[in-house]
Each structure stands twice: as structure tokens, then as C-alpha cells.
Amino acid sequence: MAMKTRKCAKPILLSGGNPQIAKADGDAAVQAYIAAMPGWKRDVGRRLDALIVRAVPGVQKAVKWNSPFYGMAGQGWFLSFHCFTRYVKVSFFRGAALNPVPPGESKQKDVRYLDIHEDDRIDEARFAAWVKQASRLPGWGGA
């Protein structure tokens, strides 16, 4: 009896080069998203994921709306990132409460952004401090 093998389709890149990844909970879904990020953005995704995991051991992960989400069980999601044409946008859902406040403003009063362009250097100490602070705040939705 011959077994059918199914080839894994390469994820589709949506506008701005954002990978289209099925909604799922867990690290595997986030790693699939990162692996599908185009070009230099993949390295940014790997670095962000590693910094988040190091700053907050036990962080919960999921892919929702074609973006990786990070949160704390019982507290909700505190961070997400998304690929755009020229940068990766990190969203801190309670960013206005962080010290110092991340630079990117939002139409939503609590949300702040960090845009990372190809030649930007990530201030890892500051990013890790933001992640630790954000993980202690009530998050958005359920994690």
C-alpha cells in the first residue's frame, strides 16, 4: 500500500512581506512564522524571539492574525510583531506604561510601537527591560 506524502507549502507572503501563518498556539507556530519572514527580517524575528524568551522564561506564544504574540498565562498578551515592507513593527499593548516609553505612538492610548529597520541596531538591554516590564502588566485578550 503506497503512502501519500504531502509537501509542505511555503507560506504566502502578504502585503509588506508578512507571512501568512495559520492561527495556532505554541512555539512551533511562532517558529514557522519566523522561518517564513523574508530576508533580513528573519534575523530580526529570531533575535526578538530569543530576547523575549530570555527576559521572560515561561512566556506563552501563539500566532494570531498572521503575527506572533507573546503573553503570560492568565494575564493576556503583552507584545506582538509584524512584518511591513521596510521594517518590523513591535507592538507593546501596554507600552504607554513602560519606562522609558517606546518611541512609536499609536491611535490607541495604551499601545506603543518600536519599528526596526534593516540597518537598525536593537538596544537589547532596553528591549529586554521593556519586555520584563510589559510581562508584569495586565495584557490584552487571553494568553
Over the stretch 84-117, which tens digit does the pLDDT of each residue have?
Answer: 999 999 999 999 999 999 999 999 999 999 999 9
Distance CA 91, CA 52 (A): 13
Q: Write down the pLDDT at residue 3.
A: 42
Q: Write down the pLDDT at residue 55.
A: 98
Closest C-alpha to 88, from 134, 29, 38: 38
Q: Write down the pLDDT at residue 17.
A: 72
Q: Read off the C-alpha cell for 69.
A: 504574540
Closest C-alpha to 11, from 29, 26, 98, 25: 29
Q: Which of the 8 DSSP states describes residue 103?
A: S
Q: Exposed/middle/buried for 35, CB within 10 Å: 0-12, 13-18, 19+?
A: middle
Q: Write down the pLDDT at residue 143.
A: 62
Burial 91-124 (b: 16+ CB within 10 A, else e): bbbbbeebeeebeeeeeeeebbbbebeeeeebee
42-65: pLDDT as tens digits:
999 999 999 999 999 999 999 999
**Residue 123 pLDDT > 80:** yes
Distance CA 112, CA 7 (A): 40
Q: Whole-number mean pLDDT of the chain?
A: 90
Does CATH place domain 15-135 in 3.90.1150.200?
yes
Distance CA 123, CA 142 (A): 29
The stretch 68-89 carries a mean pLDDT of 96
**Residue 13 pLDDT > 90:** no
- Which percentage of the chain shows pLDDT scores above 90? 80
